[in-house]
Structure 1
């Protein structure tokens, strides 16, 4: 449709500085209009600087690996010979139905991928996003390259199957703007619509550095998925500290933030190797004790 083509042409003109400017405007509005004085405080500036450096490292990594990973994912998808919908399935006004279904489908994928990333082995790739102790619009950019790649591969499979590749730029921009919004320090809940569209109050609890909120509010845009699968958490306005300091993660050192997944997976692999070695030793010891005397 022409409207999608026009939107895609506009989206292609947008660059990273434009999005940083949008986040800066949000911070100024929170500071001036909502009297959030810590929005331009020292902790906010330090965390934003760390986020910027992490984002630059991610973009550098993307230059070397992103195209290759996407190409491998596309070849893998094609080799599976999964039947897709007909190319003209979403023609005419049906495109808008497809648009809504893609939003729901993408958030469904997001929910379960996000849930996996809150497990022992998935957490290292997701931890970077939770290290920000001053959660605001800029927190959107504090996502590790590994997490971004996993999510984009999921979307690639979904949109390829649905035959709606023209929606990729539009959905990416929509999701990005919504991400800016839900990370703002606001108590907005969306009232009767709180289960249909994620609010800042809903997502702020997801970033709270308290045990009772860990692994809660995992949906990106549609909280109804959390309600259905038992991870919805809404005790009221969030006044809890943000970040992951309780887990010992740095919030302002971008290098430590970026290398954490590799360090943590190395620790986990060493732990697994030690357990396997202990089990093998125990089996050898048991088999030797079971041998008759003299053998």
Structure 2
């Protein structure tokens, strides 16, 4: 699992610089003055703070996570392809072949995170009320760990290390692009690669769009599995304020998973265990005893 022990500070630095560049492209080229607004700035700083918290968590827990993943992987005895299988494949085709299964795994992981118990891991990403290039930094460490585990289990058997850096770079660039406030929809290619319009609906704080547009790269999965929603440019409020989630307080955003899981556990106790316990307690004594 040495590949997981990567320089996250460097990755963060590159992503931060790329997001800054994208922000000013919107301001200078597309005249998006809203990128300079107070709410945009507050959300940007909150996203950066969450990413910095993730770096701290990663540095502290990286060895434990790495050891756990290695033990789990060895225990599962997952067969792997011989790396020589890919010899002779052009690099561009190798990258496409690598992106498709990763995105398929992403779709189902993403879909699981839009369920009752999965939502707390993913909620941080949806708290941004000014979705832009920095929103990609707003991912909770718990979500990052769970997504990494899915890649380890589902994708490492492919054994295509040559393509990994290129695929990672593509995901970083596309992740910034797809969160930008641009009315671009890719026309006839809209099912093959996600556009800003498509993904903006995913962040809309509107019931009609909840749990929709879950494909990170390929909206095709949403078309196939019934989660596609794209009626045109999105004018809805972004974020999750209607659900009571903070948007500019990184501390509240970061502790939300623990708060929500505690609430869900309490709710489950009240709904299931507590009635059984109370019924047993209130049952009349057996007269024969």
Quick check: TM above 0.5? yes
Over the aligned positions, Cα root-mean-square deviation in angstroms equals 2.0
Partner Cα distance (1:51, 1:153) in 2: 23
1:78 counterpart residue number: 74
2:201 counterpart residue number: 205
Does the CA contact (< 8 Å) of 2:8 and 2:55 recur in 1?
no
Does the CA contact (< 8 Å) of 1:159 and 1:168 recur in 2?
no
Partner Cα distance (2:194, 2:49) in 1: 28
2:97 counterpart residue number: 101
Residue 270 of structure 2 corresponds to residue 282 of structure 1: no
Gaps of 5+ in 1: 1-10
Secondary structure class of the residue paired with 1:228: helix
Partner Cα distance (1:98, 1:157) in 2: 20
When structure 1 is superposed on structure 2, of 204-213 and 70-79 the one drifting more is 70-79
TM-score normalised to structure 1 length:
0.90
Partner Cα distance (2:80, 2:268) in 1: 40
Partner Cα distance (1:111, 1:84) in 2: 23
TM-aligned CA deviation for residue 265 of structure 1 = 0.6
Residue 146 of structure 2 corresponds to residue 150 of structure 1: yes
When structure 1 is superposed on structure 2, of 128-137 and 160-169 the one drifting more is 160-169
Q: Deviations over 1:93-115 (max 9, x none)?
A: 26554422220100001000000
2:36 counterpart residue number: 40
TM-aligned CA deviation for residue 64 of structure 1 = 1.1
1:7 counterpart residue number: none
Equivalent residues, number: 282
Alignment match of 2:13 (pick from 5, 13, 17): 17
Secondary structure class of the residue paired with 1:205: helix
Does the CA contact (< 8 Å) of 1:159 and 1:165 recur in 2?
no
TM-aligned CA deviation for residue 139 of structure 1 = 0.3
Secondary structure class of the residue paired with 2:43: helix
Partner Cα distance (1:134, 1:154) in 2: 29
2:50 counterpart residue number: 54
Q: Deviations over 1:233-280 (max 9, x none)?
A: 011110001000010000000000000001111111122222312222
Gaps of 5+ in 2: 1-6
- Equivalences for 1:1-295 in 2 at 5 Å? 15-93=11-89, 96-275=92-271, 276-285=273-282, 288-289=283-284, 293=287, 295=289
Partner Cα distance (1:277, 1:284) in 2: 10
Partner Cα distance (2:120, 2:230) in 1: 26
Secondary structure class of the residue paired with 1:166: coil
Partner Cα distance (1:20, 1:96) in 2: 26
User: Kindly tell me: are residues 274 and 12 of structure 1, through their superposed partners in 2, closer, same or farther at Cα, counting changes over 3 Å?
Assistant: closer
